[in-house]
């Protein structure tokens, strides 16, 4: 590279970086305060989490031998359904792909407390911005969303960025890889507990590790995921399906497995 181009880049790069931080911030200011926090739901003024480079990472199709396999390299979709019928998502290169307009996809089986591993890839071709770019989501018990989004140099409201508890908690840091790169979630999820009369005994909780970086540590869900509204609990079954969201973007998933965890609220016989 000649000296002139180097000098030009030195000038241009900070301007481009500045431009990324400039302009109106996506989000809302007319939404309710999130209970127990000082921020509003989808607050555009909430600080952006610090960006962390997660490194290259290592993926494989290995898993613990007590894992329930939901998707392996054969990309056989028998664990999944679209509204109880055959899954409408596609299979591409040994991965499962959301076909825009095909609707969400759910596991056929239901689960309670789990350790869940999955890998996802937002589209290599960058289209759209904010919530319109690489949007999907992992809904635990079909209610509690860990957001999937291309949040690599794509500002959006922090409680809606990749790895957020959507509408509730931003991730501790932004550990996203770029568009078209495979990323991983390891989620330790504890289902909520309700009393017989329907009142909440214990909120749902999750620890989330994104690309090997912890982004939530035993964090409480404030209720099922909602858009622009305050979350609130109502009693539901102790087991629920895992749902992956079709938000109109061709997101791919691979290597999905979980382990059922013991119910530690029951008497411990060990
Ligand atoms: Mg989503």
The candidate with the shortest Cα–Cα distance to 92, out of 79, 116, 111, 73, is 73
The predicted-structure confidence for 22-52, as pLDDT tens digits, reads as follows 689 999 999 999 999 999 999 999 999 999 8
The predicted-structure confidence for 13-22, as pLDDT tens digits, reads as follows 444 444 455 6
Query: Distance between CA 116 and CA 68 in Å, rounded?
Result: 9
* Ligand 1 centre distance from Cα of residue 148 (Å): 6
* pLDDT computed for residue 127 by the predictor: 94
The predicted-structure confidence for 49-89, as pLDDT tens digits, reads as follows 999 887 766 666 678 888 999 999 888 999 999 999 999 99
Q: List alpha helices for the chain, DSSP H.
A: 3-21
* Ligand 1 centre distance from Cα of residue 160 (Å): 8
Indicate left, alpha or beta for 265 from its phi (over 0: left) and psi (-120 to 50: alpha): alpha
Determine how β-strand 68-71 pairs with β-strand 182-190: unpaired
Query: Distance between CA 148 and CA 120 in Å, rounded?
Result: 8
* pLDDT computed for residue 65 by the predictor: 85
Q: Terminus-to-terminus CA distance in the chain, angstroms?
A: 66
* Ligand 1 centre distance from Cα of residue 129 (Å): 13
The candidate with the shortest Cα–Cα distance to 170, out of 187, 154, 146, 206, is 146
* Ligand 1 centre distance from Cα of residue 136 (Å): 4
Rounded mean pLDDT, 253-263: 93
Query: Distance between CA 176 and CA 184 in Å, rounded?
Result: 10
* Ligand 1 centre distance from Cα of residue 140 (Å): 12
Top pLDDT among 5 and 36 is at 36
Q: Report how many domains make up the chain.
A: 1
* Ligand 1 centre distance from Cα of residue 216 (Å): 17
* Ligand 1 centre distance from Cα of residue 228 (Å): 13
* pLDDT computed for residue 270 by the predictor: 40
* Ligand 1 centre distance from Cα of residue 264 (Å): 30
* Ligand 1 centre distance from Cα of residue 265 (Å): 31
* Ligand 1 centre distance from Cα of residue 131 (Å): 8
Determine how β-strand 182-190 pairs with β-strand 173-174: unpaired
The candidate with the shortest Cα–Cα distance to 138, out of 114, 155, 156, is 114
Q: What proportion of the chain, given as a percentage, has pLDDT over 70?
A: 87
* pLDDT computed for residue 61 by the predictor: 67
* Ligand 1 centre distance from Cα of residue 137 (Å): 4
Query: Distance between CA 180 and CA 172 in Å, rounded?
Result: 23
* Ligand 1 centre distance from Cα of residue 269 (Å): 40
The Cβ-side half-sphere exposure at 129, using a 13 Å CA radius, reads 9
Query: Distance between CA 226 and CA 144 in Å, rounded?
Result: 9
69: enclosing H helix or E strand: strand 68-71
The SS3 call for residue 14 is: helix
Query: Distance between CA 70 and CA 241 in Å, rounded?
Result: 12
* pLDDT computed for residue 19 by the predictor: 44
Query: Distance between CA 187 and CA 115 in Å, rounded?
Result: 6
* Ligand 1 centre distance from Cα of residue 247 (Å): 6
* Ligand 1 centre distance from Cα of residue 141 (Å): 15
Supply the range of the domain harboring residue 55.
3-268
Torsion of CA 206, 234, 169, 16, to 10 degrees: 120
* pLDDT computed for residue 268 by the predictor: 44
* Ligand 1 centre distance from Cα of residue 138 (Å): 8
CA geometry: angle 26, 27, 31, nearest 5 deg: 165
Q: What distance lies between CA 215 and its chain's CA centroid?
A: 11
* Ligand 1 centre distance from Cα of residue 38 (Å): 23
Supply the CATH number for residue 89's domain.
Answer: 2.60.120.560
The predicted-structure confidence for 148-205, as pLDDT tens digits, reads as follows 999 999 999 999 999 999 999 999 999 999 999 999 999 999 999 999 999 999 999 9
């Amino acid at each position: 590279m000649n000296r002139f181009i180097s000098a030009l880049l030195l000038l241009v790069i900070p301007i481009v970086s500045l431009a990324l931080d400039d302009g109106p911030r996506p989000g809302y200011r007319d939404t309710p305060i999130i209970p127990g926090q000082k921020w509003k739901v989808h607050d555009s003024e909430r600080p952006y989490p610090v960006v962390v480079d997660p490194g290259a990472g290592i993926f494989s199709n290995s898993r613990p031998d007590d894992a329930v396999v939901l998707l392996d390299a054969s990309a056989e979709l028998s664990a999944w359904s679209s509204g109880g019928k055959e899954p409408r998502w596609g299979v591409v290169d040994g991965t499962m792909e959301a076909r825009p307009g095909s609707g969400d996809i759910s596991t056929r089986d239901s689960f309670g407390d789990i350790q869940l591993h999955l890998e996802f890839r937002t589209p290599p071709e960058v289209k759209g911005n904010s919530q319109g770019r690489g949007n999907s989501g992992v809904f635990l018990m079909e209610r509690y969303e860990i957001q999937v989004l291309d949040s690599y140099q794509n500002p959006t409201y922090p409680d809606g960025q990749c790895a957020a508890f959507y509408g509730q908690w931003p991730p501790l840091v932004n550990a996203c890889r770029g568009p078209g790169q495979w990323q991983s979630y390891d989620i330790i999820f504890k289902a909520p507990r309700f009393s017989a009369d329907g009142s909440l005994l214990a909120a749902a909780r999750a620890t989330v590790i994104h690309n090997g970086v912890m982004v939530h540590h035993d964090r409480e869900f404030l209720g099922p995921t909602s858009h622009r509204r305050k979350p609130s609990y109502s009693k539901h079954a102790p087991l629920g399906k895992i749902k992956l969201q079709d938000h109109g973007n061709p997101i791919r998933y691979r290597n999905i497995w979980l382990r059922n965890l013991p119910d530690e609220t029951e008497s411990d016989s060990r």
